[in-house]
């Protein structure tokens, strides 16, 4: 079984109740829930929340694979990790060790069904234990040291490569992760073992954390949804 798990909580400080705030005419969490629901590889979509208001909104989505999981309020605090609610769900569910767990973040509404399907195909064929969604960045990056000086991270400034010859860096988008139930319960982590990545289009890199992000992502949704 393949389970898509979308954790959402009521207490968001940056944008209150942002997971059900409308963006491009729909509540934010609808977009990832729809993408997971319409992905052929997904058997069940679980939205885990502590909020009665969110439950009410989510219940009206009309998505046939969707279920709601009542997460413990202790796993919905500002300091609680995403892994804590993942483990809570897995320990309270009757799943097999070999089942696959897709962690999907509601704040990445540009994720599409075909991205999830493509990522799963690579997970199955690539011989990896876990996989994350990513974009490739080709900027030259520098690390800031405590004294304010800088060191290059991904290139030699004395031998600057041409862009077309530069591999760049892989950056997690946070949109989707796939791992087995057994691995997550053992390691208490979304990624483990041999890890690989699945490249998404550059426009999917935006996450909704601040009001300015909302304006940008809404315009992108108008184009790509």
Report, as residue numbers or ranges, the catalytic residues.
160
Exposed/middle/buried for residue 155 (C-beta within 10 Å: 0-12, 13-18, 19+): middle
Look at residue 51 and give its three-state secondary structure.
coil
Whole-angstrom distance, CA of residue 66 vs CA of residue 28? 15
Q: What are phi and psi of 54, to 5 degrees?
A: -65, -45
Q: What are phi and psi of 193, to 5 degrees?
A: 65, -145
Those residues with Cβ within 8 angstroms of residue 179's Cβ, 6 or more apart along the chain or in another chain: 100, 101, 103, 129, 130, 131, 190, 191, 192
């Amino acid at each position: 079984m393949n389970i898509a798990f979308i954790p959402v909580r009521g207490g968001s400080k940056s944008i209150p109740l942002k997971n059900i705030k409308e963006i491009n005419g729909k509540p934010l969490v609808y977009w990832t829930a729809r993408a997971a629901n319409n992905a052929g590889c997904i058997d069940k979509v679980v939205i885990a929340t502590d909020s009665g208001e969110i439950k009410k909104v989510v219940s009206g989505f009309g998505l046939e694979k969707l279920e709601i999981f009542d997460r413990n309020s202790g796993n919905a605090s500002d300091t609680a990790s995403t892994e804590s609610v993942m483990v809570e769900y897995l320990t309270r569910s009757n799943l097999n060790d070999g089942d696959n767990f897709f962690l999907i973040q509601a704040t990445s509404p540009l994720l599409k069904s075909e991205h999830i399907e493509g990522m799963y195909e690579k997970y199955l064929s690539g011989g990896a234990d876990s996989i994350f969604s990513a974009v490739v960045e080709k900027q030259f990056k520098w690390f800031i040291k405590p004294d304010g000086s800088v060191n290059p991270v991904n290139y030699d400034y004395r031998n600057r490569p041409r862009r077309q010859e530069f591999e760049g860096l892989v950056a997690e988008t946070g949109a989707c992760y796939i791992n087995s139930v057994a691995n997550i319960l053992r390691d208490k982590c979304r990624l483990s073992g041999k890890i690989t990545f699945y490249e998404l289009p550059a426009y999917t890199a935006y996450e909704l954390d601040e009001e300015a992000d909302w304006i940008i992502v809404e315009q992108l949704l108008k184009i790509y949804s």
